[in-house]
Structure 1
C-alpha cells in the first residue's frame, strides 16, 4: 500500500489550492483593514464637523 500516492498524484492541486487560499485570505484582510480605516476616517471627519 502506497501511503503518499495521493499526494504524489495531486501535488499540483494542493499547491494551487494553497496559493489561492493565501491570496484569498490576504485579500479579505486588506478589505477588512481598508473598511476599518475608512470608517475611522469618516468618524473623525464627523467629529470635526460637530
Structure 2
C-alpha cells in the first residue's frame, strides 16, 4: 500500500494509535476473479 492509503486509513480510524494496520488482506478467487478481501475487526469487506 502507498503512504496515501495508510494516511487515509489512519484518518478513517482504521489504524490503531501505534500505526499498526488493523486490517489484513487476503486474496480470494470469486467467480474466476482474484479479489482483495480485507479482514477487519468488524468482519469481511470487499
Q: What is the TM-score of this pair, normalised by structure 2?
A: 0.26
Higher RCO, Cα 8 Å, sep 6+: 2
TM-score scaled by length of structure 1: 0.24
The structure with more helix, counted as a fraction of residues: 1
